[in-house]
Protein backbone atom coordinates (compact mmCIF):
# COMPACT_ATOMS: atom_id res chain seq x y z
CA UNK A 1 0.00 0.00 0.00
CA UNK A 2 1.35 3.47 -0.83
CA UNK A 3 3.28 5.25 -3.59
CA UNK A 4 4.34 2.84 -6.34
CA UNK A 5 2.18 0.00 -4.97
CA UNK A 6 -1.10 -1.50 -6.14
CA UNK A 7 -3.19 0.49 -3.65
CA UNK A 8 -1.98 4.10 -3.80
CA UNK A 9 -3.99 6.91 -2.14
CA UNK A 10 -4.41 10.17 -4.12
CA UNK A 11 -3.53 12.44 -1.21
CA UNK A 12 0.17 12.99 -0.40
CA UNK A 13 -0.55 13.22 3.36
CA UNK A 14 -2.70 10.09 3.28
CA UNK A 15 0.06 8.32 1.32
CA UNK A 16 2.58 9.16 4.08
CA UNK A 17 0.24 7.74 6.74
CA UNK A 18 -0.87 4.50 5.09
CA UNK A 19 2.07 3.91 2.73
CA UNK A 20 5.28 2.03 3.48
CA UNK A 21 3.82 -0.58 5.84
CA UNK A 22 4.86 -4.24 5.68
CA UNK A 23 3.79 -7.24 7.74
CA UNK A 24 5.42 -10.63 8.00
CA UNK A 25 4.86 -13.91 9.76
CA UNK A 26 6.72 -17.17 10.21
CA UNK A 27 4.81 -20.16 11.53
CA UNK A 28 6.64 -23.26 12.74
CA UNK A 29 4.90 -26.51 13.60
CA UNK A 30 6.58 -29.72 14.68
CA UNK A 31 5.29 -33.18 15.34
CA UNK A 32 6.27 -34.86 18.58
CA UNK A 33 9.54 -36.77 18.77
CA UNK A 34 9.55 -40.55 19.36
CA UNK A 35 9.44 -41.85 22.93
CA UNK A 36 11.80 -44.59 24.07
CA UNK A 37 11.15 -46.51 27.29
CA UNK A 38 14.09 -46.88 29.68
CA UNK A 39 14.29 -49.07 32.77
CA UNK A 40 15.60 -46.96 35.65
CA UNK A 41 17.05 -49.91 37.61
CA UNK A 42 19.59 -52.13 35.87
CA UNK A 43 18.83 -55.71 37.02
CA UNK A 44 20.85 -57.43 34.29
CA UNK A 45 24.20 -57.32 36.11
CA UNK A 46 25.76 -55.86 32.96
CA UNK A 47 27.42 -52.56 32.20
CA UNK A 48 24.99 -51.71 29.41
CA UNK A 49 22.99 -48.55 29.82
CA UNK A 50 19.46 -47.93 28.64
CA UNK A 51 17.86 -51.26 29.44
CA UNK A 52 14.20 -51.44 28.55
CA UNK A 53 11.24 -52.47 30.70
CA UNK A 54 8.82 -55.23 29.80
CA UNK A 55 5.78 -54.27 27.76
CA UNK A 56 2.69 -55.93 29.25
CA UNK A 57 -0.12 -53.88 27.69
CA UNK A 58 -1.04 -51.15 25.25
CA UNK A 59 0.94 -47.95 25.91
CA UNK A 60 -1.76 -45.84 24.22
CA UNK A 61 -4.31 -44.27 26.53
CA UNK A 62 -7.85 -45.59 26.10
CA UNK A 63 -9.85 -42.91 24.28
CA UNK A 64 -6.74 -40.91 23.34
CA UNK A 65 -5.36 -37.77 24.97
CA UNK A 66 -7.17 -34.59 25.91
CA UNK A 67 -5.80 -31.03 25.99
CA UNK A 68 -5.99 -31.08 29.81
CA UNK A 69 -3.74 -34.10 29.90
CA UNK A 70 -0.49 -32.22 29.20
CA UNK A 71 0.87 -32.55 32.73
CA UNK A 72 -0.92 -35.78 33.64
CA UNK A 73 0.21 -39.13 32.27
CA UNK A 74 0.96 -38.80 28.55
CA UNK A 75 0.81 -42.56 27.95
CA UNK A 76 -0.44 -45.68 29.76
CA UNK A 77 2.28 -46.24 32.37
CA UNK A 78 0.65 -49.49 33.51
CA UNK A 79 1.75 -51.03 30.18
CA UNK A 80 5.38 -51.10 31.40
CA UNK A 81 6.85 -53.12 34.27
CA UNK A 82 10.37 -53.85 35.45
CA UNK A 83 11.75 -57.07 33.95
CA UNK A 84 12.81 -59.93 36.22
CA UNK A 85 16.35 -59.93 37.54
CA UNK A 86 19.02 -60.88 34.94
CA UNK A 87 16.52 -60.47 32.07
CA UNK A 88 16.45 -57.75 29.44
CA UNK A 89 13.08 -56.10 28.87
CA UNK A 90 11.01 -56.70 25.75
CA UNK A 91 9.65 -53.17 25.19
CA UNK A 92 10.20 -51.83 21.68
CA UNK A 93 12.73 -49.10 20.99
CA UNK A 94 9.94 -46.53 20.45
CA UNK A 95 6.29 -46.74 21.36
CA UNK A 96 4.70 -43.38 20.55
CA UNK A 97 5.45 -39.71 20.23
CA UNK A 98 5.61 -36.74 22.53
CA UNK A 99 3.71 -33.49 22.19
CA UNK A 100 4.23 -31.35 19.11
CA UNK A 101 5.36 -27.73 19.08
CA UNK A 102 3.96 -24.56 17.52
CA UNK A 103 5.37 -21.03 17.27
CA UNK A 104 4.30 -17.92 15.36
CA UNK A 105 6.72 -15.03 14.83
CA UNK A 106 5.28 -11.77 13.47
CA UNK A 107 6.64 -8.41 12.38
CA UNK A 108 5.24 -4.99 11.52
CA UNK A 109 7.48 -2.58 9.60
CA UNK A 110 7.09 1.05 8.44
CA UNK A 111 9.45 2.62 5.89
CA UNK A 112 10.14 6.38 5.99
CA UNK A 113 11.98 7.63 2.88
CA UNK A 114 14.46 10.37 3.89
CA UNK A 115 16.29 10.96 0.61
CA UNK A 116 16.47 9.24 -2.78
CA UNK A 117 18.45 6.24 -1.49
CA UNK A 118 18.12 6.65 2.29
CA UNK A 119 15.26 4.90 4.10
CA UNK A 120 14.56 4.68 7.83
CA UNK A 121 12.62 1.58 8.79
CA UNK A 122 10.91 1.21 12.18
CA UNK A 123 10.28 -2.39 13.21
CA UNK A 124 8.09 -4.11 15.79
CA UNK A 125 8.76 -7.84 16.04
CA UNK A 126 7.17 -10.50 18.22
CA UNK A 127 8.80 -13.91 18.64
CA UNK A 128 6.28 -16.55 19.77
CA UNK A 129 3.64 -13.83 19.27
CA UNK A 130 0.81 -16.00 20.66
CA UNK A 131 2.88 -16.94 23.74
CA UNK A 132 2.03 -20.60 23.11
CA UNK A 133 3.51 -23.03 25.64
CA UNK A 134 5.23 -26.00 24.01
CA UNK A 135 5.61 -28.95 26.35
CA UNK A 136 8.68 -31.19 26.53
CA UNK A 137 8.59 -34.96 26.18
CA UNK A 138 7.29 -36.95 29.14
CA UNK A 139 9.61 -38.83 31.45
CA UNK A 140 10.11 -42.31 29.93
CA UNK A 141 12.17 -43.85 32.77
CA UNK A 142 10.11 -46.68 34.21
CA UNK A 143 10.58 -46.66 37.98
CA UNK A 144 10.79 -42.87 38.27
CA UNK A 145 8.10 -41.08 40.36
CA UNK A 146 7.28 -38.87 37.35
CA UNK A 147 7.14 -41.74 34.82
CA UNK A 148 4.78 -40.79 31.99
CA UNK A 149 4.42 -37.17 33.11
CA UNK A 150 5.47 -33.97 31.38
CA UNK A 151 7.32 -31.84 33.88
CA UNK A 152 8.72 -29.04 31.74
CA UNK A 153 8.60 -26.97 28.60
CA UNK A 154 10.41 -27.46 25.31
CA UNK A 155 13.48 -25.23 25.44
CA UNK A 156 13.44 -24.38 21.71
CA UNK A 157 10.51 -21.98 22.03
CA UNK A 158 10.89 -19.15 24.56
CA UNK A 159 8.06 -17.11 26.03
CA UNK A 160 6.88 -14.16 23.96
CA UNK A 161 9.66 -11.70 23.12
CA UNK A 162 8.81 -8.23 21.81
CA UNK A 163 11.47 -6.07 20.25
CA UNK A 164 11.46 -2.63 18.68
CA UNK A 165 14.16 -1.50 16.31
CA UNK A 166 15.21 1.00 13.70
CA UNK A 167 17.08 0.20 10.49
CA UNK A 168 18.72 2.86 8.36
CA UNK A 169 19.44 1.84 4.75
CA UNK A 170 21.67 4.00 2.58
pLDDT in tens, 49-97: 668 899 999 888 766 665 555 556 888 888 999 888 888 889 999 998 9
Q: Is 75 exposed, middle or buried (0-12, 13-18, 19+ CB in 10 A)?
A: buried
- The full length of the chain comes to 170
CA distance 168 to 49: 56
pLDDT at 49: 60
How large a percentage of the chain has pLDDT more than 70? 81
What's CA 28's distance to the chain center, in Å? 8
Residue 43: what pLDDT? 72
| Spans of all domains in the chain | 19-169
Rounded to the nearest 5°, which phi and psi values hold at 67? -65, -30
Query: Which pLDDT band, with edges at 50, 70 and 90, does 42 fall under?
Result: confident
Amino acid sequence: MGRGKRFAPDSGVLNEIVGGWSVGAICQTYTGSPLSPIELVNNTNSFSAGNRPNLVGDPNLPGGRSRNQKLAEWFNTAAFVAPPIYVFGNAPRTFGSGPGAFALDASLLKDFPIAERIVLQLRLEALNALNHANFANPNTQQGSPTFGQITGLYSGTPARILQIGAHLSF
